[in-house]
Homo-oligomer: A and B are copies of this chain.
Amino acid sequence: MSHSEAMAVREYIHPDLEGVPLNTALQALADPARIAILRAILASGTGEIACNEISLPLSKGTVSHHFETLRGAGLIRTRVEGTKCLSSVRRQEFDERFPGLMRLVESENSQA
């Protein structure tokens, strides 16, 4: 492909929270791996985390899939930074849409 041609820059779709059904949010949260990802982001100093920064016993393809699911449910926002993609929790928006939900994820630190 020529150097001067238009090159599709990686772009992420972030849904409007108002359009996210409760069921979608609950389904996204009903997986231990995704809960672990959310907690890792929340626990990070910067509030942002890259896919490969979180250590889960999963292949990178699977981790990418979980990030995608969280994104689709309006739980995280992802931006491109060089070669990596930093994700943050859409805390305020999500809280407005589903009050109390994220707080539960945050406060439960025992089991899955």
Residues of A within 8 A of B (CB): 21-23, 26-27, 29-32, 35, 98-101, 103-105, 108, 110-112
Contacts and interface: CB of A to CB of B under 8 A. Distances in A.
B29 A112 contact: no
Contacts of A105: 22
Contacts of A98: 104
A104 B99 contact: yes
Among A30, A32, A35, the most chain B Cβ lie within 10 Å of the Cβ of A30
Given A27-B30, A30-B27, A30-B30, A22 B99 contact: no
A31 B100 CA distance: 19
The 8 closest A-B pairs by CB, nearest first: A100-B100, A21-B111, A23-B112, A26-B30, A27-B30, A30-B30, A22-B108, A26-B29
